[in-house]
Amino acid sequence: MRRDPVGSGSAKRRFVEAGGEAETFAAGGLGGFDAAGGVFDDDTIRRREIKSSGGFEKNFGMRFFVRGIAAGEDSVECCGGDADLAEVDFDFHHVGAAGDGEFKAALPAGGNEVVDAGKRRIDNPEARFYYLAHMETPVVFNCKGQQIVGILHLPDGRTKVPGVLLLHGFTGHKAEIHRMFVKLARKLVAHGIGCLRFDFRGCGDSAGEFEEMTLRTKLCDATVALKFLARQNRINSKRLALVGFSLGGAVAAHLVAREKTHIKSLVLISPVAEGAVILDEFATPEAVASLAQTGITDYFGNLVGVQFIRQFADMKPLREIVKCQCPVLLVHGENDETVPVEHSKMYERALHGAKRMVKKTIITSADHTFNRHLWEQRVLTETVDWIGETL
């Protein structure tokens, strides 16, 4: 790629503008500018850290592709969220040697944004920050007349991409424990794969109450979510994958049996293989008495209905998983006390018996929710690599 170390140029960008009082983020290698084509030289993806004036810091984990369109164009379209659509003039000037110079962008109302390519950060005195082309869009859809809330992740571009549906665990939500699903979705997008994560009804931001949730309602929600994902214009409906965590793994096993011709890859993380063997929490005298009297019991602050317990005890994910026609990855923590590692071994035996392609990864010393960074990173890497290879 050609660079113009002392020239200047303009490029048209689509930005998402949002509020904030001060911000810095890693710019991801803004090392040069192609004056002829108007293209920045780096597609790498980095995280942003947004800081408020009060010193509170959040790592939004936003990722972006740095791309231009054509030299000589100077409008930047700002959009997204509740912000008004507007056009802002942005001129990018490269005033130093490639790799260690600065880009300066003239902001409206006299603002001045400086990109230091050597330090790879942007300081924005106008207290704005911009999300580049990678889209994370809140979405809603309905199941049985109740609203389900999710986040749709799509990579840059207009071409169709594969799609992955993430299914969270029993008391989980669309972000999952220590934002594991957020990180996974963004890693998938970084590899050009779309992703939908959502809250089952009764969980997170979706409608319904937790005590109304059963295995059948979860399967209904997952089926509707898969169809919603497949209908998106950017998603290739012939290249779909499922990722299920914990109870979400059992739901995925049932769903892939129903949608076996549509699912091309499956990942089960700490998956439940049999409900009956992990129902001890609901077998205490107090829980049994509550269920008999009211039909519900307390589970760490969540009210659980008797119908869920009955369906959970009767579910047969091992019987369903063998109906799948796609490769399956099993990931489990060696020291999982919630859903013992034997559950993944049961899945493995069932799949081998049905002559299905299966890989099992046991993460040494890890617990059920992979509560160490290195354990979580291993889960994410194994998952993304598997989907990239099989989807």
* pLDDT of 5: 28
Q: What integer is the mean pLDDT of 111-125?
A: 36
- Decide if 56 contacts 119 (C-beta within 8 A): no
Q: What integer is the mean pLDDT of 283-302?
A: 93
Residue 68 scores a pLDDT above 60: no
Residue 71 scores a pLDDT above 70: no
* pLDDT of 134: 66
**Which of 159, 162, 157 is closest to 195 using CA atoms?**
162
Q: What integer is the mean pLDDT of 375-388?
A: 98
Q: What integer is the mean pLDDT of 114-130?
A: 35
Q: What angle do CA 160, 266, 154 make, to 5 degrees?
A: 30
- 144 sits in the region (left: phi over 0; alpha: psi -120 to 50; else beta) called left
* pLDDT of 281: 81
**Which of 359, 358, 347, 281 is closest to 316 using CA atoms?**
347
CATH architecture of the domain with range 135-274+315-390: 3-Layer(aba) Sandwich (3.40)
Residue 263 scores a pLDDT above 50: yes
Which band of pLDDT confidence, cut at 50, 70 and 90, is reported for residue 84? Answer: very low
> Tokens 């890989």 appear where?
359
Q: Which position has the higher pLDDT, 132 or 356?
A: 356
Neighbour-count burial for 107-140, b at 16+ CB within 10 Å, e otherwise = beeeeebebbbeebbbebeeebbbbbbbbbeeee
Q: What integer is the mean pLDDT of 17-44?
A: 30
Q: Which of 1-15, 124-138, 330-344 has the lowest mean pLDDT?
A: 1-15
Q: What integer is the mean pLDDT of 348-369?
A: 97
| H and E: helices and strands count for the chain | 8, 24
Percentage of the chain modeled with pLDDT above 70: 66
Q: Which position has the higher pLDDT, 351 or 127?
A: 351
Q: Which of 91-105, 314-328, 349-363 has the lowest mean pLDDT?
A: 91-105
Residue 115 scores a pLDDT above 70: no
- Measured between alpha carbons, how far is 259 from 263 in angstroms, rounded to an integer? 6
- Measured between alpha carbons, how far is 164 from 262 in angstroms, rounded to an integer? 12
Residue 92 scores a pLDDT above 90: no
**Which of 371, 297, 301, 306 is closest to 336 using CA atoms?**
371
Residue 104 scores a pLDDT above 80: no
The helix (run of H) or strand (run of E) holding residue 318 is helix 317-321
Which band of pLDDT confidence, cut at 50, 70 and 90, is reported for residue 163? Answer: very high
* DSSP type of residue 199: P
Structure tokens of 324?
């799948």
Chain centroid to CA 242: 12
* pLDDT of 56: 24
Summarize pLDDT for 229-259 with one digit per residue, the tens: 999 999 999 999 999 999 999 999 999 999 9
* pLDDT of 135: 87
pTM as predicted? 0.69
Q: What integer is the mean pLDDT of 100-125?
A: 35
Q: What integer is the mean pLDDT of 14-18?
A: 31
Which band of pLDDT confidence, cut at 50, 70 and 90, is reported for residue 369? Answer: very high
Contacts of 377 (CB under 8 A, 6+ apart): none
* Helix (H/G/I), strand (E/B), else coil: 116: strand
What average pLDDT is seen over the chain? 74
**Which of 135, 254, 144 is closest to 206 using CA atoms?**
144
Domain residue ranges in the chain: 8-131, 135-274+315-390
Query: Considering all CA atoms of the chain, what is the largest pairwise distance in Å, rounded to the nearest integer?
Result: 79
> Tokens 């790879």 appear where?
120
Q: What integer is the mean pLDDT of 78-103?
A: 30
Helical H runs in the chain? Answer: 180-190, 215-231, 247-258, 285-294, 306-314, 317-321, 342-353, 373-390
The sheet that has 86-89: what strands, in order across it? Answer: 86-89, 75-79, 13-19, 128-131
Which band of pLDDT confidence, cut at 50, 70 and 90, is reported for residue 278? Answer: confident
* pLDDT of 64: 27
